[in-house]
Structure 1
Amino acid sequence: MTETHRKPGTTLSPQTTPDLETADVIVVGAGPTGLLLAGDLAEAGLSVTLLERRPATLSNLTRALAVHARSLEQLDARGLADELVAGGHRLTSLGLFGSAVLAPAQLPTRFPFVLITPQFEVERLLERRARKAGVTFRYDSEVLGVDQDADGVTIRLRDGDGIGSAHASYVVGTDGARSTVRQAIGLPFPGKTIIRSMLLADVRLAQEPPSPFTVSASPDAFALIGSFGDGWYRVIGWNRHAQADDRAAVDFAEIREVARLALGTDYGMHDPRWISRFHSDERQAPQYRVGRVFLAGDAAHVHSPAGGQGMNVGLQDAANLSWKLAAVLKGHSPDTLLDSYQTERHPVGKTVLRSSGAMVRLALLRSAPGRALRGFLAQAVNHVRPLSRRAIGTVSGIAVSYPAERGAHPLTGHRAPDVRLADGSRLYELLRKGTFVLIAPAGDTAALGPAADRVLTASWASDRRTALLVRPDGYIAWATDATRPADRGAALRTALAHWTGAGIAPTAAPGSNSAVRQAS
């Protein structure tokens, strides 16, 4: 365990930059992924430095607009979802390609909708939480190199005072598609560009669209318009007959034209505050971990904007990695636990690349047979209920599950629903403590043993006899239907030893509490 001498909550301005002290974890990149990760680690009692190349000014320009159900559940487990939902638009249908429409209302979740809200609102809540937890923010800090050995990682950086360095036990690169961290550790970013000359603008509209999120396509163009909720709208479009290099200037007339081609109207667009041209890639790093350095979010994977999954996948990367880093740094788990980040999240990234890419390719089909195929698939998605459930489950993240060992209970690795508990609370309210949660039948007194300070206990509100051990990220680590107390207790002790390090002497982290309050 490394030491730190900085007081929690210190924020260093670009003008006054002393030598950096050692932190437990350095996170590079202050987007949603990095902010959630840093906040989780700091709330676990670890010292965290967050490096960001940009100046310390929250921009009102944004990329993402959609927050899906699984991300809202993760934010709920951090006490942030209700505030975010209150300021956004709930979308009860999501257009994909052709006439295909997904219905989030069928999702088994507290958040059966897509929340339309700008990315900067997500960042605002996550930054507030991270600061309160004691994360040290360093803006105007550019990473120049990354060196690691068996004891830790040293980052070479440039800030307002010149060139310096910082050291940590682990480093996580959440610094976007052009990740300096990824390049510094020698990881390739294989893939290809799937669509060029996409147009983006933030505009005012004279007429209000029929939905906060409006999307449509014609044989030669597609466009979407999303509301920020404050009178500004995000427009993204593509015109088959107006392809240009990313560096080519964009005329506002191009934006209006692509909207009219795809949507039939431009809704009286005026007063653009931001216009750009970009391309969309499909790329994924082959590994998310190299020694003591990890990648998450766009630094690990990028894909088309179809389905609005980008920011959401990054948030879920962070939720998967944060509790594992905390467990290892606090001595509760061996370093090998961190290998499961690659095992669990890399396949998810690959699935998102494939599904979002398929949506774009279907939307761009131009030939008569291609359009006929697209129409057939749209009808199937709309009317074949199992296919519809699978599609919305995949896009929303609700259907994501992780590999389980052979012979494990069928629930193992699956997302835990936000069940009501005997004391009237919800599971995701208990997860706000950042610990495992054991849900057992009322009256079950199986001993927790050495891991008692790492597990909250709760009872079903019903007479269900299944026992579940839920991970801090809301996935089921272990379950049993055994009814004999001896069998249940032995299986539970084995699971606790595997997941929470029972029998491993804990190492106190800087600022951490020695025990976690248990809930009955």
Structure 2
Amino acid sequence: MAAEPSTTETTTTDVLVVGAGPSGLLLAGDLAAAGLRVTLVERRPHKISNLTRAFAIHARTLEALDARGLADDLIKTGSITPALRVFGRVRMDLSHLPSRFPFLLITPQYEVERLLERRAVEAGVDFRYERELTSLTQSPTTVTAELRTADGTSETTTARYAVGTDGHRSAVREALGIPFPGEAVLKSIVLADVRLSEPPAELPQLSTAPDGNSFTFIAPFGDGYYRVIGWDRNHVVPDSDPVDFSEIRALLQRTHGTDHGAHDARWLSRFHSDERQAPRYREGRVFLAGDAAHVHSPAGGQGLNTGLQDAANLSWKLARVLDGESPDTLLDTYQSERHPVGTAVLRTSGALVRLAVAHTAPRKALRAVLTTALNLLAPARRKAAGQISGTAIAYDKHTRRVPDIALSDDTRLYEALRAGKFVEITPLGTTAPPTVTGAIQAHWRQSSSRKDTLLVRPDGYTTSAALPL
């Protein structure tokens, strides 16, 4: 019998992050920037793929990246679109969003990962690739992870807290025994990055076939290629079946009346879309974020965005607790704030995809009523745009997103938030000490009529008196 591989290394860290996708990279970078020891492990080799499924960055996520000095660099990599067109009839205008970023940015996920990885490296994150989590145990004060390396040896890492950002097949979630209930919403979705000789006049666009048996979504990358996602009720095959380019052309023809001159595919793939959510995002000293906590249909492009905002919510809370500035009970608010958001995203994205594939008379009638209402009622369109973009998300009536605010020193609120601290905005001349330990003091512009004090959390939300700080 072959001898078991021996442990080659034992390490300690403040926070162990498992999974080097966007959520894990943002979280690890935040914690390291706060001065904590962070170890990030990833089962894959160190290589950011140039192929991607996620590509939509909404306004609220751009605000979160702005608070880390990354938004402007990311915008340079993609294509800006001021509106979304749904079901071929409804134009959802984003240009009126109360944000510095009143648009949707189309850019590949790998561009987001490159920027977040660069920031995490500069902040001092200890990256460990080709490490697979094999077990996870907890004590009242620590989390211990057993890892297997590519050559079969093992490592042990002990942390004060751990976070699983390791995707929908999360080894962390499985080690904790947390269920992942849900179902496959659509099977055999095809995905292609193609060139279009005659692209639609307005993009992105979600269109359905008249019979409701197929749909396509088209978005521009800005580099001459377009992302096409499609589904055909009459052609559901295993994910492993190759995608023929004629399948993409046929889908476009049925949903748009033309294939838009599709040619030169650089990527063809097939996948299925699940709707699943973990019932709890925390188990002792271990947390779940991103796809490890929730997965949903690609409709609305909210998956990547929701995961990044999970990380932005959790990171500052972990930093305050580990620095001794706040009690451990602050970490319970991650569940109470982010779990309902995940549930809401499942509902909205699920409703969009179900309406897109409506083929029975009642569902077609419902889609017609909703599209007519959205076309006629501007408030309804604005509400829908706020929810999809994330700018309308509030955790409760006291905890709401704060838009960018011009400050007295010719800077902006989201520039001040780059320190990862609370920002307390007061009238000019105020000299009282901050109400929260470590808060940055700032002032309203001289031209502002506001005489109140506004305390803004590191994630850009107002602070509820009930928050255990």
Pairwise TM-score range, normalised by the shorter structure? over 0.9
| Alignment-mate amino acid for residue 419 of structure 2 | K
TM-score of the superposition, structure 1-length normalised? 0.85
Q: Distance in 2 between matches of 1:19 and 1:466?
A: 54
Q: Which residue of 1 aligns with 2:434?
A: 448
Matched-pair contact (CA < 8 Å) for 2:83–2:204: no
Q: Which residue of 1 aligns with 2:134?
A: 144
Q: Does 1:63 align with 2:53?
A: yes
Over 3 Å counting, the alpha-carbon distance change for 1:79 and 1:499 in structure 2 is: farther
Q: Distance in 2 between matches of 1:339 and 1:460?
A: 32
| Alignment-mate amino acid for residue 348 of structure 1 | V
Q: Distance in 1 between matches of 2:452 and 2:105?
A: 33
SS in structure 2 of the partner of residue 420 of structure 1:
coil
Q: CA deviation at 1:370?
A: 2.8
Q: Which residue of 1 aligns with 2:171?
A: 180
| Alignment-mate amino acid for residue 216 of structure 1 | S
| Equivalences for residues 46-85 of structure 1 within 5 A | 46-85=36-75
SS in structure 2 of the partner of residue 374 of structure 1:
helix
Q: CA deviation at 1:212?
A: 4.8
Q: CA deviation at 1:498?
A: 6.2
1:236-294 deviation per Cα after TM superposition (whole angstroms, max 9, x unaligned): 10012111122333222212211211122223333333322211111100000000110
Q: Distance in 2 between matches of 1:456 and 1:31?
A: 30
Q: Which residue of 2 aligns with 1:129?
A: 119
Q: Which residue of 2 aligns with 1:435?
A: 421
Matched-pair contact (CA < 8 Å) for 2:327–2:468: no
1:449-478 deviation per Cα after TM superposition (whole angstroms, max 9, x unaligned): 7x55x1111111112122111000000005
SS in structure 1 of the partner of residue 154 of structure 2:
strand
1:167-189 deviation per Cα after TM superposition (whole angstroms, max 9, x unaligned): 11111111111111101100000
TM-score of the superposition, structure 2-length normalised? 0.94
Q: Distance in 2 between matches of 1:369 and 1:346?
A: 31
Q: Which of 384, 394, 412 is equivalent to 1:401?
A: 394
Q: Which of 252, 256, 263 is equivalent to 1:263?
A: 256
1:33-53 deviation per Cα after TM superposition (whole angstroms, max 9, x unaligned): 111101000000001111111
Matched-pair contact (CA < 8 Å) for 1:98–1:374: no
1:351-390 deviation per Cα after TM superposition (whole angstroms, max 9, x unaligned): 0000111111111112344323212211212221221121
Q: Distance in 2 between matches of 1:53 and 1:210?
A: 42
Matched-pair contact (CA < 8 Å) for 1:215–1:263: no
Q: Distance in 2 between matches of 1:384 and 1:212?
A: 22
Unaligned runs of 5+ in 1: 1-16, 405-411, 479-494, 501-520
Q: Which of 155, 167, 170 is equivalent to 1:164?
A: 155
| Alignment-mate amino acid for residue 306 of structure 2 | V
| Alignment-mate amino acid for residue 442 of structure 2 | A
Q: Which residue of 2 aligns with 1:392?
A: 385
Runs of at least 4 residues off by over 6 Å:
none
SS in structure 2 of the partner of residue 58 of structure 1:
coil
Q: Distance in 2 between matches of 1:199 and 1:364?
A: 15
Matched-pair contact (CA < 8 Å) for 1:189–1:284: yes
SS in structure 2 of the partner of residue 286 of structure 1:
coil
Over 3 Å counting, the alpha-carbon distance change for 1:498 and 1:91 in structure 2 is: closer
Q: Does 1:337 align with 2:327?
A: no
Q: Which residue of 1 aligns with 2:318?
A: 325
Q: CA deviation at 1:225?
A: 2.1
Q: CA deviation at 1:499?
A: 5.5
Matched-pair contact (CA < 8 Å) for 2:424–2:434: no
Q: Which residue of 1 aligns with 2:90?
A: 100
Q: Which residue of 1 aligns with 2:358?
A: 365
| Alignment-mate amino acid for residue 169 of structure 1 | R
Q: CA deviation at 1:55?
A: 1.0
Q: CA deviation at 1:111?
A: 0.5
Q: Distance in 2 between matches of 1:475 and 1:198?
A: 37
Q: Distance in 1 between matches of 2:244 and 2:112?
A: 30
SS in structure 2 of the partner of residue 106 of structure 1:
coil
Matched-pair contact (CA < 8 Å) for 1:116–1:212: no
Q: CA deviation at 1:397?
A: 0.6
| Alignment-mate amino acid for residue 344 of structure 1 | E
Matched-pair contact (CA < 8 Å) for 2:54–2:109: yes
Q: Distance in 2 between matches of 1:211 and 1:48?
A: 44
Q: CA deviation at 1:329?
A: 0.5
Q: Does 1:419 align with 2:412?
A: no
1:17-37 deviation per Cα after TM superposition (whole angstroms, max 9, x unaligned): 962521111111111111110
Q: Distance in 2 between matches of 1:19 and 1:229?
A: 46
Q: Which residue of 1 aligns with 2:287?
A: 294
Q: Distance in 1 between matches of 2:282 and 2:405?
A: 33
Q: Distance in 1 between matches of 2:217 and 2:149?
A: 39
| Equivalences for residues 216-231 of structure 1 within 5 A | 216-218=207-209, 219-231=212-224
Q: Does 1:189 align with 2:183?
A: no
Two-structure CA RMSD over aligned residues (Å): 1.8
Q: Which of 369, 378, 394 is equivalent to 2:371?
A: 378
Q: Which residue of 1 aligns with 2:107?
A: 117
Mean Cα deviation higher: 386-395 or 18-27 = 18-27
| Alignment-mate amino acid for residue 111 of structure 1 | F
Mean Cα deviation higher: 295-304 or 149-158 = 149-158
